[in-house]
Amino acid sequence: MRVWYRIQAMVSRLFSARVSPEVPTTHSSPPNNLPLETIEKIIAHLIYDTPSLLACSLTCYSWYIAAVPHLHHTLMILNSRWHFNLKHQWSEPLQNASRHGLLPFVKRLQVRRLSCRYEGFYPKRFNRHTLRQFAALSNVQELEIDDLDIPKFMPRIQEYFGHFSPTLRSLSLSKPKGSRRQIVFFIGLFQYLEDLKLFDDVLDHYKSEPAEDPALIPLFTPPLQGRLKVTMFKRVGLLKDMIDLFGGIRFRRMDLFDVDGMRLLVGACAETLETLRVYPKDPRGKPLSMKVSDS
């Protein structure tokens, strides 16, 4: 709201010097008289056109309200050890969005690796201010994290990520650190999770993973009934642990490339699977698609 009023004041000052006293200014503009349903339909056609959305947000208050959720739908945080050394510059997008009251509009959060020389995403990336701002992301539906260091968040991991549980529907983990049980435990933090993406690098396996903790049981059993995408994931036993601890999985669509335990996945989703895409070894090749019929 603060952003809109600042913009409104700037627009008022801009035009106040140009409008002649003889020109009436009390009549509302035609765009402002449109029904809210019509405005929303217009904005819906422009959700991928950022310049047009920005222009719409400057039209009037009702157009701003309709456009701002699409303008701030995605928040990307570029994470690197260099930014960490420079007073948490990694969190500048988070701080800027918090300063303008925009964090509740974020529905897709991406924590991306900025460089190859990267130590991971772990609790020391946070201070008390960034942790409070991170917790203000209350409507995130898609979460994507590179190099999540799960062992360093344990046992307080729910304090950092638990607020995503009511709204999160899609989770993507690229090269996560941790034991099989710890990764499954993290997935189990989100009780309504439907889509899951797992990416690993067979050339960059960790030589010593944390010891398994048989007592580490997921807090929730997410439905996992949407889409599963697994790429170059060679953690032997992880998929079996996920199926056992969640009491099965129910994905309708699966995309698999260079995955151990493919037969296990297909068997576990035999009753719900609708589409299966199996990619060849060459990631540039065409996927082998197969429709699964009721018969």
Same domain for 62 and 194?
Answer: no
Same domain for 82 and 133?
Answer: yes
- In terms of C-beta density within 10 A (0-12 exposed, 13-18 middle, 19 or more buried), how is residue 81 classed? middle
The residue assigned the tokens 């201070």 is: 127
Same domain for 63 and 172?
Answer: no
Assign 238 a pLDDT band (cuts: 50, 70, 90): confident
On whether residue 14 sits in a domain, the answer given is no
- pLDDT of 286 > 70? The answer is no
On whether residue 17 sits in a domain, the answer given is no
C-alpha–C-alpha distance, residues 174 and 147, integer Å? 6
Q: Which structural domain range is residue 180 located in?
A: 72-202+214-291
Assign 288 a pLDDT band (cuts: 50, 70, 90): low
Cα 16 to the center of its chain, rounded Å? 43
On whether residue 3 sits in a domain, the answer given is no
Same domain for 107 and 76?
Answer: yes
- What are the residues whose beta carbons fall under 8 Å from the beta carbon of 83, sequence distance 6 or more? 89, 90, 114
On whether residue 30 sits in a domain, the answer given is no
Tell whether pTM > 0.95: no
- pLDDT of 246 > 70? The answer is yes
- Write out pLDDT tens, residues 186-211: 999 999 999 999 998 655 544 456 66
On whether residue 24 sits in a domain, the answer given is no
- pLDDT of 121 > 60? The answer is yes
- pLDDT of 6 > 90? The answer is no
Same domain for 153 and 98?
Answer: yes
Same domain for 130 and 222?
Answer: yes
Give the mean pLDDT of 98-125. 83
- Write out pLDDT tens, residues 131-189: 999 999 999 999 999 999 999 999 999 999 999 999 999 999 999 999 999 999 999 99
Same domain for 66 and 182?
Answer: no
Quote the number of domains for the chain.
Answer: 2
Give the mean pLDDT of 283-292. 55
Total residues found in the chain within this entry? 295
Same domain for 120 and 176?
Answer: yes
On whether residue 19 sits in a domain, the answer given is no
On whether residue 222 sits in a domain, the answer given is yes
Same domain for 160 and 49?
Answer: no
Same domain for 253 and 265?
Answer: yes
C-alpha–C-alpha distance, residues 95 and 232, integer Å? 35
Assign 83 a pLDDT band (cuts: 50, 70, 90): very low
Highest mean pLDDT, choosing among 9-18, 53-62, 111-120, 223-232 = 223-232
Cα-flanking dihedrals φ and ψ of residue 230, to 5°? Answer: -125, 125
- Say what the pLDDT of residue 135 is: 94
- Write out pLDDT tens, residues 251-285: 999 998 888 778 888 899 999 999 999 876 655 55
- Say what the pLDDT of residue 10 is: 45
Domain end position, chosen among 54, 71, 88: 71
- Say what the pLDDT of residue 218 is: 93
Same domain for 54 and 77?
Answer: no
Same domain for 52 and 78?
Answer: no
Comparison of pLDDT for 111 and 287, the residue scoring more: 111
Q: Which amino acid appears at position 83 of this protein?
A: H
Give the mean pLDDT of 102-127. 83
- CATH label of the domain that carries residue 81: 3.80.10
C-alpha–C-alpha distance, residues 184 and 216, integer Å? 9
- Write out pLDDT tens, residues 7-44: 444 444 444 444 444 444 445 556 666 777 776 777 67
Highest mean pLDDT, choosing among 68-77, 88-97, 157-166 = 157-166
Domain end position, chosen among 21, 55, 71: 71
The residue assigned the tokens 């994507």 is: 144
C-alpha–C-alpha distance, residues 13 and 10, integer Å? 5
On whether residue 132 sits in a domain, the answer given is yes
- Say what the pLDDT of residue 198 is: 94
How many secondary structure helices (H) and strands (E) does the chain include? 13, 9
Comparison of pLDDT for 109 and 22, the residue scoring more: 109
Integer CA distances (angstroms), 144 to 59, 83, 135, 191, 241, in order: 33, 19, 16, 17, 22
Comparison of pLDDT for 76 and 5, the residue scoring more: 76
